[in-house]
Structure 1
């Protein structure tokens, strides 16, 4: 009777919402080597670009087009914006795919997923905890790059207004506000990659397959966007709007492209996250 009473007390004290706290999951993910390596890569990139500009001279935009690359060395703010410009299309895709694609599949590859669920951690609770931490780390990666770039650029090129390639300038305070908006938009635009990686992570026991699949599908989207024969169909591709944030780096910002891009990205992301939760709820977990 005593043992039965003790088991009953444990059952009454059980709270599904207290299982796998975000703090515990965050600490686990921060200690992983891939998190540290990815953070180091993003922190080193601005130093690499400074050295490249010092060796190669003044940067030029591709194909004689006027881009942020032309004003990269004008100030620290310009250098930070340039780092976002050169990395948003691919480099920032990798941490998002890594953090979101590795999160569930890694547990399965370690054969610890079934033991985690037997803790017992409800499946939905586990997914929410892992997704929240993965998205938090993805956002941290996107914030880390421009912060380091701003500091490095200020030392290398001085602190000053953000020079707009097409003419004009934004004072330091306004430039900082616009860069915050840019980072927020890039994060929203990368939610499609996050959704792909997370959904694949619930479908496979191979973390590399989930991460690689998300990166590969993102590249396919970029390739399709380059096919001008698709016409207006490209507007339904998240990749079509990935650089819409450039309209904010203007004296008078334009919001139309960012609103359309955010709408497309959020729609795809919500569908993919819903598929991940629905499929994992019915999945026979044996790993």
Structure 2
């Protein structure tokens, strides 16, 4: 017979994996990381450095006297033109590095800190861990993609005025139509760079070294850009991840041409789905010992 003075055992609270690793906690960790703060400083200083560089330059080298002028030749026409030039200068490398950094560092950083196995033992389901990491990486990348043109537009507007955007052929796009065009550019860049994030993520689940995942994704994109210059490949170049990287420029034409952006978006989404799926499949079966 049970002792009546003995208190009944208190049932333990069952673990709730669905509440483990909350998104707010991951976002706070992201904001506190030095690499995130370094990215913020780069985005903050880039437009200021460009304005300073143009101020130090000679006005005699303002581009060709006749014919179409490039984005760099028109950068001082208005804040809108400086924004377009900044995006043009950043698309090929800077934005690739930023997206690869956020996505490729997500999983291997936990392994390098020896916290990955403890997270999985919390318990945090592997699928939820990957989902939370990908969501935070996507939000961080999107924030950078929005912050860069917005801040550049503000700096350029103060430095060069708030005139309309002047295209290489002399066509102009005024406000507020230009805001809609910039929104299209940012959305397309986000979709197009998803292949970079997916590639960095897939490499990140294969290694415990964040630099290997980030650097590997950047190097593969550089290799793709080199192959894209080989005209002998013909139509095969259209399947390269970065072939349509600059198709966003079509959104700034007097009449928007959607064909290049549509093709680029389809290729990028296709690559992203395949790479993320392969990465998730491998991570679910991976023996995590770090």
TM-score interval for Structure 1 and Structure 2 normalised by the shorter chain = over 0.9
Q: Flag the structure with larger Rg.
A: 2
Normalised TM-score (structure 2): 0.93
What's the CA shift for 1:281? Answer: 0.2
Contact 2:68-2:169 at 8 Å conserved across structures? no
Asked if 1:149 is matched to 2:173, the reply is: no
Give unmatched runs, 5+ long, in structure 1. none
**Cross-structure match for 1:135:** 138
Three-state SS of the structure 2 residue aligned to 1:20 is coil
CA distance in 1, matches of 2:158, 2:132: 39
**Cross-structure match for 2:215:** 212
CA distance in 2, matches of 1:108, 1:85: 35
- Decide which structure has greater helix share: 1
Cα deviation, 1:226-271, whole Å, max 9, x if unaligned, reads 1111110001112110011111101111000000000000000110
Three-state SS of the structure 2 residue aligned to 1:28 is helix
How many residues align structurally?
Answer: 281
Normalised TM-score (structure 1): 0.94
Asked if 1:119 is matched to 2:122, the reply is: yes
Distance 1:2 1:208, change over 3 A: farther
Contact 2:68-2:168 at 8 Å conserved across structures? no
Three-state SS of the structure 2 residue aligned to 1:257 is helix
**Cross-structure match for 2:254:** 251
Moved over 3 A (4+): 1-5, 57-61
Alignment of 1:58-97 (within 5 A): 58=59, 59-60=62-63, 66-97=69-100
CA distance in 1, matches of 2:152, 2:7: 63
Given candidates 90, 107, 111, the residue that maps to 2:110 is: 107
Cα deviation, 1:2-59, whole Å, max 9, x if unaligned, reads 786522xx12xx4332111111101001100000001101111111111111111355
What's the CA shift for 1:71? Answer: 1.3
**Cross-structure match for 1:16:** 17
Alignment of 1:179-198 (within 5 A): 179-198=182-201
Contact 1:142-1:187 at 8 Å conserved across structures? yes
Contact 1:185-1:262 at 8 Å conserved across structures? yes
CA distance in 1, matches of 2:262, 2:220: 23
**Cross-structure match for 1:6:** 11
What's the CA shift for 1:141? Answer: 1.0
Three-state SS of the structure 2 residue aligned to 1:166 is coil
**Cross-structure match for 2:284:** 281
